Structure 1
Amino acid sequence: MVEEGDNRRERRQRVLKGAAIINGINNSEISCTIRNQNVGGAELKVPVEALVPEHFLLYVPTDGVAYRSVLRWRRNDRVGVQFTETVPKPRFHYG
């Protein structure tokens, strides 16, 4: 995992969107909030006790898609993720 630095190619736009981190192994979910986002990634606010996997699907109901994501850094209740691709809404998700 890489520590946060401002190595982004694009500035992130501030947003406030509800989302869910979906772990593909057992389809467990962690509710989170997207604080800022660009096409390449996002900063999420997660519960401090949440165990965020290295690779996961980030489903964003307002966007209507899920982003395959890689965890890049974590600091307390904030995590930075990189998007690797978008996929349709997961079939098993209720939202």
Structure 2
Amino acid sequence: MTEPIRSEQQREHRQRVLKGAAILIDVNTSEIRCTVRNMHSHGAELRVPLGVHIPAEFLLYVPVDGIGYKSVVRWREQDRVGVLFVGTAPKPSWHYG
């Protein structure tokens, strides 16, 4: 039996943080506010509202970093979501935050 993907990602030291962020999908979809709780160069653990649909891929905009992280969901447990960063992008011009 192979280890879960989550275990593989946890091998890299994650820095505990508390950053407000927004999951951005497209111009027609409202942002989903979330909190970044742990972060490293390849991904992060987010806290999101329970029951909210999180797409498999999205742009995670972190205002204090001034960066949008292209993210892919790797795991989810209740209100916690682990994401893998696959690139960066500037804040979209259509986002008002």
TM-score, normalised via structure 2 length: 0.88
Corresponding position of 1:33? 35
Structure 1 residues 1-95: aligned runs within 5 Å: 5-8=6-9, 9-24=11-26, 26-95=28-97
Larger Rg: 2
Runs of 4+ in 1 over 2 A off after TM superposition: 24-28
Structure in which a larger fraction of residues adopt strand: 1
Give the RMSD, CA atoms, in angstroms. 1.5
Distance in 2 (CA, whole Å) between partners of 1:76 and 1:93 is 27
The two structures have a TM-score, normalised by structure 1, of 0.90
% same residue: 58
**Structure 1 spans left out of the alignment, 5+ residues:** none
Q: How many residues align?
A: 93
For structure 2, the residue ranges without an aligned partner over 5 or more in a row are none
CA distance in 2, matches of 1:4, 1:79: 13
The answer to which structure has the higher helix fraction is 2
